[in-house]
Amino acid sequence: MPDLAELQVIIQRALAEDIGRGDVTSLWTLPPDLPGRGVFVAKADGILAGVEVVQQVFHQVSPDIVFEFQKADGDPIRYGDRLGSVIGPLQAILTAERTALNLMQRMSGIATLTRRYVDLVKGTRAVILDTRKTVPGLRLVDKWAVRLGGGQNHRLRLDDMVLIKDNHIAACGSITVAVERVRAHNTQNLPIEVEVKNWAELEEAVALRPDRIMLDNIPPAEMTRMVAWVAGRVPLEASGGVNLETVRAIAETGVDYISVGALTHSVTALDISLEVE
């Protein structure tokens, strides 16, 4: 679970965006003391994510809303499952409904897709990683959803890991110069990863012993030979051209990590509804 204070900021911003000066429809059609129950129902199979987030959404709108869920974050769900309910002032429940569903549906979509990738690489050593290709402002919940789906997180921000990519290398003139410059400043001992695109760059990077090397857009057959040549001297991450059809072949090359931008940059939300009783 991400830092609660940071999560609260995300939710506050999302609620302010949706509610504005007030939910005029609910305010003008429902008395404030009218009680109600809203039941979350799955409209598709998948992995549930966002239960904790949704609870925070409803509590921010009204502390009088009681939250009762039978399913937990990370649970598999099936079409028609009743996931849980919120009980309290109906006016407040309807005001929070869309923000709660938007976050839960997106997170569940990410978790569901991540689980598909994780299942496809079972039996190999490969770990599925996310990327920074997230919706601006929602990175914490996007990456949390990846973990709930069984994946792991790559760097959260630009300040928690060094990733020397092709543009850095081009500007510095070589991988060696880029790594030397980083090490001259890296008093925090942040992990250093280097992106390579061919054999010459791989050989140069391995000699420098970074914490990880990213093999970018390398065909699986070539990647297999690279993994054998590196022979565990540096952990290897595959990136580029990864999808549900290719991920198994990439995992079978023997790489340690596979980063998948699609987990968060083009995910389909999982259909979940809130039905008022």
Q: Residues with catalytic annotation?
A: 98, 133, 165, 195, 216
Asked whether 85 and 38 are in contact (CB, 8 A), the reply is yes
- CA 214 to centroid of chain Cα atoms: 19
Which positions ≥6 away from 173 have C-beta within 8 Å?
none
Long-range contacts formed by 131-140: CB under 8 A, 24+ apart: 131/259, 131/260, 131/261, 131/263, 131/264, 131/265, 132/157, 133/261, 133/264, 133/265, 134/264, 134/265, 135/106, 135/264, 137/10, 137/13, 138/10, 138/106, 140/2, 140/3, 140/6, 140/7, 140/10
